[in-house]
Structure 1
């Protein structure tokens, strides 16, 4: 006789915005979220600037030759030199963009929705999160809550607390030019 163990349905399913909000609430972290039409580029999201104060983010999901993955979170208009950023973030080689499959596996998001809040889905600690120093000069940081049809605002210190609570020690480095 064999015994089967049943797993909860969708136990490996990516966490949702509601899961994120519950996690933040459980940590006592203040946050606010504004829904909007899906945005895929910085240009599309600029119309929200008057409605949502704070530093707005651009997130790059990159990897090095040893398959170490990073999320670089920078101000939306900042530029990152992908030819030299590896020296700053401690990558083993020049970085390239990570695949959509790894993005979904590790962060639980699809292209156009990369976010620092994806740390909630990276339970295997496969990704290093890098916050740009210039972005961290803002009191409030804004990012997608695991989908690109809303923007969640959180205090910069609370963002670091959130990352640590997910098991990630964020790096705050100057990665923009």
Structure 2
């Protein structure tokens, strides 16, 4: 059982990573309202259940994928309770089958580690090497729950603010698949 803090509406007093710093800078600059909790280290979707209960939303599952040659990268955001099927994902985009990118690629390209993949990594992908793909069910949800770039900080944000403010600000186009 993990410990989940009370709900905050301001950034943490102590910033742990440069990605986390960029996350809160962007939220402030874009005037995006959020609720946040701090936790013990959370890695799995099962660990997220207590975060979901506290913030009254469902955490998304963010997967970092690549092609076999490791020349094309995808950040796929889907519902936390939805199984990932590589074949269906690849068919939806009309691409060769993908697999999970390495933890080294994740550290280098997303500036995060396993368990903390987040759409906010688009802020550091200034060369647009990563394609952002959302499941339609995520787009349809009112709330977007995700990591702030760490495995100990989680946010609740209006999904429309991610789509209409954050992604254009990061100069990333969103692809939506069923």
TM tier, smaller: 0.7 to 0.9
Could you say which residue in structure 2 is the equivalent of 1:172? 176
Judged with a 3 Å threshold, the aligned counterparts in structure 2 of structure 1 residues 165 and 90 are, in CA distance, closer, same or farther, namely farther
> What is the rounded CA distance, in whole Å, between the counterparts of 1:46 and 1:55 in structure 2?
8
> What is the rounded CA distance, in whole Å, between the counterparts of 1:53 and 1:120 in structure 2?
26
Match runs of 1:1-177 below 5 Å: 15-66=18-69, 67-91=71-95, 93-160=96-163, 161-174=165-178
User: Which runs of at least 4 in structure 1 moved beyond 3 Å after TM superposition?
Assistant: none
1:95 shift after superposition: 0.3
1:48 shift after superposition: 2.0
Kept in 1, the 8 Å contact 2:90–2:98? The answer is: yes
1:65 shift after superposition: 3.2
1:83 shift after superposition: 2.2
Compute the TM-score of the two structures, normalised by the length of structure 2.
Answer: 0.84
Could you say which residue in structure 2 is the equivalent of 1:6? none
Judged with a 3 Å threshold, the aligned counterparts in structure 2 of structure 1 residues 107 and 90 are, in CA distance, closer, same or farther, namely farther
> What is the rounded CA distance, in whole Å, between the counterparts of 1:89 and 1:58 in structure 2?
18
Per-residue deviation, residues 81-134 of structure 1 (Å, max 9, x unmatched): 11231121243x100111112111211111121111211121221101111111
Report which of the two structures shows the higher radius of gyration computed on alpha carbons: 1
> What is the rounded CA distance, in whole Å, between the counterparts of 1:90 and 1:53 in structure 2?
35
1:16 shift after superposition: 3.0
Kept in 2, the 8 Å contact 1:86–1:94? The answer is: yes
Compute the TM-score of the two structures, normalised by the length of structure 1.
Answer: 0.84
